[in-house]
Chains A and B, each alone.
Chain A
Amino acid sequence: MEMRFQFSPRSSRDERTNRYQAVNRLISAIRASLFIVGAFMISFANAADSEFKAGKAVYKKANCMGCHKWHGKGGGGYGGVAASLRESPLDDEGLALVIGCGRPGTGMPYHDRKAYRGESRECYASTREELGDALPPRARYLLRASEIEDVVAYVSHQIQGKGEPDYSDCIAFWGTTAKRCQMMAK
């Protein structure tokens, strides 16, 4: 037997009004819940965003996202085969070393403007000459020490140790209106 929801023709005006008001209350409650959940998600994203805003800006500016991708999983591309930052075992000190000094023998560039200058051995206890062909490339965008600290904080708190990137990661990076995040929400 087919069941259909419909107003009974025998319902009184008051009954219909009460039912209408009840449905409206229910819709309002759902809307309020959705708003709270949404606002929570956005505020959570915003909180994370504001806390690591400077580091995320460096991550974008210094072309980290070009090779390690926005989500930090790395992989192939014209920037080379980049390591996954989500799976990186490095502590903050190790991250700062690799960002500042690059990774010898690979395409990971050095970003510290003082790296490999003159006889300096601050990077891998080696000079430019000693590293020879293994000398990492120089990044196009060199970073100040404070910028390296910022991006290390961003990577270690927002990327490292996380699983597969999801919708909340996406809106934290690209913003709530990004089409690419809408794809992930589907």
Chain B
Amino acid sequence: MRNLDSTKAVIAAIVAAATFVTSAAETSDQRLLNAHAEPHNWIHHHRTYDAQRFANLTQINRSTIKQLKVAWTYALGGTMGGGIWPIAGLEATPLVEDGFMYAIDGWGVVTKIDVREGRAKFVWRMDPATDKDWAGEIACCGVDNKGVALWGNAVLSHTLDGRLIATNKIDGEIVWEAQLADPAVGETITVAPLIVKDMAISGVSGGEFGIRGWLEATDLNTGKRRWRRHTIPAPGEPGSETWQDDHDAYKTGGGATWITGSYDSRLDLIFWGVGNPSPDWDREYRPGDNLYSNSAIALDPNSGEIKFHFQYTPNDPFDYDGVNELVLADTEVNGSPVSLMLHADRNGFLYAIDRSNASFVYASSFVKRLNWTAGIHPTTGRPIDYDPESEVQNYAGVASSRSKPKSGFLCPGVMGGKNWAPMSYHPNRSMLYIPVIESCNEITTTISPDDEKPIPREWFTSGGMKQTERITGSLTAVDVKTGKVAYKVESEWPLLGGVLATAGDLVFAGLPNGDLVAFDAENLKELWRFPTGSGINAPVMSYAVEDTQYVAIAVGFGGTLPKWWIDATPGLENTNPSSMIFAFAIH
């Protein structure tokens, strides 16, 4: 009897273990919907569907921060260049699920790392063999990838040459792959997928190469397309009346979708940002408001139908790409409860929009200098100097044009008041922490003749910019209840990596000189700093294993700054590329 009991016990233990392994490996729809309930994990690109990037962990806090030390490091590799890029960078947010990390480099190589024992142990690597020159020649802004997604037993990832790949989470074998984007017409993919129901939602890059942007939903069970929704409407479709040219400018109208969106399961709506119209600066090539460029769009996940939108900078003359993330937050404004989507735009304004119907709530400037408009209209949300009677907008007169090729001194500059690096929302404080680029610059517009079609894979910007002063930055805290800047801590460098707010009342941000810094969420007083030794242009994240909280970041200097802006950030010219993940814990 004892032996039988013992055998039964062993079998029961094996079954239990197998069940645990299975359940731990499965990333179910329910778990994705309730990612808030797993504070130890980070299973979405933005951690939760609301894109708040808030870590509900408290072990690392204002009292313990001084004991925060390096717990482990891991060299991810993948720094080799391709196309016009001498190096690749790291911009991804690693995901962590039950003690396993999934990281991706700029070329789409996914690595699974076992971090359960407080150190990094290699599990598997999936190399998609990206065609480096083919894709790297048409990547405007670096060889980068923002991250992976999890669903069921699969890891979903994109490649710069336009594929969506499902990899078996257990053994790292490719299950299926689908070619979504076409580099032959200037399309690449750098965005992290968003999983909604049993679909992966993918966006496209190429707004500087005359693409016509889209979002695509792929059936995760089959790897086949469910729907594709162009962000620039064809003639006859809603919004097409905002393209008033006579030469089919919509076909190369831009509207890329290169930052992962958000999802509200209650409204059953996907929210996604749409980028700049093409060409970037010759807006007379594309008269009209150019929907849905520079807009937030809300889509029905079942059909991809655009239910409503909000546009920030119609007929954009500045490349104020409106693609940045949309943070969903339920709070009060002026004492009234409201379901917001929050968006810090390159144009220097933070927008609070009612996400149930896209009605405008408020906009407030979060940068030190802003001169492209006199302000935002308090009821319409349009720039005050927007002229509804004009097909070509001049706003406050700074913009360049065909008749005035040189712009004035434009603030914020083309990098924007905030670029792609995601902000973080602290729900207990109703406070938004924005990684800010404080800069101004000048634009030269060249004419794209109306009767000439852009050449596939060639830049279609119709001009260029010139940086005439140093670019700096700040971490800026905005009280969402009022829209007012509560604190601003200035930085010698622009903030190019994403921010993390935690329940430990800390805010973490990485700097391009390689420093990872922790601030007090109450007042942005600096509490801790660690020099990683290379440049940071990736978001910070946090996870826990058993009773230990970790803060982790990918360090790999790449992206736009080393190539296009390095002369405007003296001191960073000798910052070398690297490819390391750092994890920190209390010791």
Contacts and interface: CB of A to CB of B under 8 A. Distances in A.
Interface in B546-575: 560, 562-564, 566-568, 573
B70 interface: no
A81 B444 contact: yes
B466 A140 contact: no
Interface in B447-477: 456-468
Contacts, number: 84
A179 B208 CA distance: 20
A179 B140 CA distance: 18
Given A66-B84, A180-B133, A183-B184, A80 B464 contact: yes
A141 to B, nearest CB: 8
B72 interface: no
A154 B468 CA distance: 31
A79 B464 contact: yes
B305 interface: no
A25 interface: no
Identify the interface centre among B281, B457, B466: most chain A CB within 10 Å of its CB.
Answer: B466
B534 to A, nearest CB: 15
A77 B459 contact: yes
B331 interface: no
A107 to B, nearest CB: 5
A174 B279 CA distance: 27
B466 A107 contact: yes
A43 B462 CA distance: 38
Contacts of A70: 84, 137
A14 interface: no
Interface residues of B, number: 37
A85 to B, nearest CB: 15
Nearest to B140: A78
Given A60-B86, A180-B133, A76 B459 contact: yes
Nearest to A174: B133
A174 B83 CA distance: 9
B279 to A, nearest CB: 8
A169 to B, nearest CB: 14
Contact of A63 (B86, B134, B467): B86
Nearest to B282: A76
Contacts of B281: 76
A128 interface: no
A76 B564 contact: no
Interface in A45-87: 60-61, 63, 65-66, 69-70, 75-82
B131 interface: yes
Interface of B is mostly: loop
A78 B441 CA distance: 12
Contacts of B73: none
Contacts of B566: 140
B365 to A, nearest CB: 25
Identify the interface centre among A61, A69, A81, A109: most chain B CB within 10 Å of its CB.
Answer: A81
A178 interface: yes
A65 B133 CA distance: 13
A78 B461 contact: yes
A107 B464 contact: yes
A78 B466 contact: no
A138 interface: yes
Contacts of A107: 464, 466-467
B563 A140 contact: yes
B563 A76 contact: no
B339 interface: no
A80 B466 contact: yes
A66 B208 CA distance: 13
Contacts of A60: 86
A140 B137 contact: no
A109 B567 contact: yes
B361 interface: no
Identify the interface centre among A76, A109, A133: most chain B CB within 10 Å of its CB.
Answer: A76
B56 to A, nearest CB: 38
A139 B563 CA distance: 9
A148 B134 CA distance: 27
A138 B564 contact: no
A80 B565 CA distance: 11
A133 B468 contact: yes
A81 B463 CA distance: 6
Contacts of B563: 63, 66, 78-79, 140
B446 A178 contact: no
A69 B86 CA distance: 14
B524 interface: no
A60 B86 CA distance: 8
A137 interface: yes
Interface in A103-155: 106-107, 109, 133, 137-141
Contacts of B503: none
B527 interface: no
Identify the interface centre among B84, B457, B568: most chain A CB within 10 Å of its CB.
Answer: B84
Contact of A78 (B134, B183, B208, B279): B208
A76 B137 contact: no
Contacts of B463: 76, 81
Given A76-B459, A77-B461, A65 B141 contact: no
A26 to B, nearest CB: 35
A79 B564 contact: yes
Given A78-B563, A137-B567, 20 more contacts: A61-B86, A63-B84, A63-B563, A66-B563, A75-B458, A76-B460, A76-B464, A77-B140, A77-B459, A77-B461, A78-B140, A78-B141, A79-B563, A80-B465, A137-B568, A140-B566, A174-B133, A178-B133, A179-B184, A180-B133
Interface of A: 60-61, 63, 65-66, 69-70, 75-82, 106-107, 109, 133, 137-141, 174, 178-180, 183
Interface of B: 84, 86, 131, 133-134, 137, 140-141, 183-184, 208, 279-281, 444, 446, 456-468, 560, 562-564, 566-568, 573
